[in-house]
Amino acid sequence: MNDASTHCPDMGSAMNILTNHPPTAELQRLDAAHHMHPFTAGAELAKKGARIITRADGVTLTDSEGRTFLDGMAGLWCVNIGYGRSELAEAAARQMRELPYYNTFFQTSHVPVIALSAKLAELTPNDLNHVFYAGSGSEANDTNIRLARHYWSARGKPQKKIIISRKNAYHGSTMGGASLGGMQPMHAQGGLPIADIHHIDQPDWYLEGGEHSPEEFGLERARQLEQAIETLGEDNIAAFIAEPVQGAGGVIVPPETYWPELQRICDAHEILLIVDEVICGFGRTGNWFGTETFGLRPDIITIAKGLSSGYAPIGGSVVTDHVAEVIDNGGDFNHGYTYSGHPVAAAVALENLRILQEEKIIDRVRDDIAPYLAEKWGQLAEHPLVGYSNICGMMASLALTPDKSARAVFAAERGTAGLICRGHSFDSGLVMRHVGDRMVISPPLVMTRPDVDSLIERAGRALDLTHRELIDKGLMVAA
Ligand SMILES: *Cc1c(COP(=O)(O)O)cnc(C)c1O
């Protein structure tokens, strides 16, 4: 803090800058000077300045210039109940006054963590009845690596260590989470993956299905798990991990044949199935969990994001009676986070779950708003720039293409068209994200039909503007 010119004169009082903030340009200057952004090229962002979001209500964001946006991403796939629910603010304030923090390490517990655990045992399917808490989805997946390996160790099979995952999966950004994930640009930084993680191919029919029908392709990709088990040896494998629907990978809904075959393979072999429900959980697919939508029987699920609708950072691993029994009888599990089961986050999560349940938000997703969104989203697939659309509940994608008849990809660098479309989308008042040249949405579950109409209208405008710009720049060219 030597360079006086880069720090704010009002910083002596943090409340002052929060309640009466300086103009956008000043905030952008301070942001560029002192804040390092995730998944961002800092120098590039510093040149144009970050967009600064100042408030939100329902499904609408407001920035520091007073512009409003329909939040087609529910923040980062997490604000399931929408913004501005004061009940959650009150739950947090009440808990902070009562007991702002206490740990759960030293044979102690507290009321919010007990209540939340019992609630999760009730809401999660089958005999997933035991929760180990983390501060995020990434941490929970790190826990899962240790849980799965320790489980086999406690059963006298310490050599069962390998965890099989998939290319283009997303399981978080910690060393463990990013290793489980199959994102090449992440592996390239920091020497990942860690040892004993093996990746098989993803079920992305649009980009990788070639001449196969989606059904054939789904079976083929699922059977890669069986081949990997044969090659690596069942005696060396602890678990298989996957998201029911890949989220950050581009909302890739697998072919219908895929999950039943994977479940069959997991049943036929002595390996744990870890289902990463961080996005799919808490209503996004039209059921409480993606596990129910796809008929899965996991041994462990990962939860975060929608657990608190993003109002407080909290994640966890929910395990079956059987897994818990083995771990509980395996001596000390030498693992935990200062904020495992944080009382304020737990109180907020509990209130979020109460709202999801009492307001029947997930029933409404399944019976009304997701089918309505699916109908309208499908119409966007008619657009000349769109090669394929995918939707599952309230998560959806559009693959942009220079030639819709051929499932073609662009000659331009991957992500060029997607980035242009994201810009036009923002300018049209819609937050829509791009993953390569796929556009994705994951809006709050509380969207109304008029909200959906407005989302579709703005997405359509963004597609039109993108199409025109790609033509003007000579980029409607297939690779
Ligand atoms: C976001 C995400 C994670 C990581 O959660 P964080 O809270 O960002 O650490 C893990 N798995 C999936 C499927 C996710 O989408």
Residues 305 and 411 grouped into a single domain: no
In a domain, residue 16? The reply is no
173 Cα nearest atom in ligand 1: 9
Distance 305 CA to ligand 1 centre (A): 7
Residues 57 and 147 grouped into a single domain: no
Measure the CA–CA gap between 220 and 263, rounded to whole angstroms: 14
Residues 248 and 281 grouped into a single domain: yes
Q: How confident is the model over 204-214, as pLDDT tens digits? A: 999 999 999 99
Q: How confident is the model over 170-206, as pLDDT tens digits? A: 999 999 999 999 999 999 999 999 999 999 999 999 9
Residue 3 has pLDDT above 80, yes or no: no
76 Cα nearest atom in ligand 1: 1
Using most ligand atoms within 8 A of CB, pick from 138, 166, 243 the residue to mutate for ligand 1.
138
Domain that holds residue 454: 51-84+361-472
Residues 202 and 254 grouped into a single domain: yes
Residues 145 and 275 grouped into a single domain: yes
Q: How many domains does the chain have?
A: 2
Residues 306 and 446 grouped into a single domain: no
Residues 207 and 326 grouped into a single domain: yes
Distance 322 CA to ligand 1 centre (A): 25
In a domain, residue 45? The reply is no
Domain final residue, candidates 319, 341, 358: 358
Kindly report the average pLDDT of the chain as a whole number. Answer: 96
Measure the CA–CA gap between 58 and 80, rounded to whole angstroms: 10
Instruction: List, chain by chain if needed, residues with CB within 6 Å of any ligand 1 atom.
Output: 77, 136-138, 141, 170-172, 177, 243, 247-248, 276, 278-279, 304-305, 315
User: What CATH number is given to the structural domain containing 422?
Assistant: 3.90.1150.10
In a domain, residue 229? The reply is yes
In a domain, residue 92? The reply is yes
- Does the pTM of the predicted model rise above 0.85? yes
In a domain, residue 11? The reply is no
Residues 312 and 297 grouped into a single domain: yes
Q: How confident is the model over 328-342, as pLDDT tens digits? A: 999 999 999 999 999
Domain final residue, candidates 324, 358, 392: 358
In a domain, residue 149? The reply is yes
Residues 347 and 385 grouped into a single domain: no
Distance 10 CA to ligand 1 centre (A): 35
In a domain, residue 34? The reply is no
Residues 331 and 421 grouped into a single domain: no
Residues 354 and 367 grouped into a single domain: no
Domain final residue, candidates 358, 375, 406: 358
Residues 68 and 202 grouped into a single domain: no
Q: How confident is the model over 246-263, as pLDDT tens digits? A: 999 999 999 999 999 999
User: What CATH number is given to the structural domain containing 262?
Assistant: 3.40.640.10
The average pLDDT across 77-100 equals 98
Q: Which amino acid is at 282?
A: F
How confident is the model at residue 17, as a pLDDT?
Answer: 85
In a domain, residue 387? The reply is yes
The average pLDDT across 152-156 equals 98
Measure the CA–CA gap between 343 and 112, rounded to whole angstroms: 6
How confident is the model at residue 16, as a pLDDT?
Answer: 80
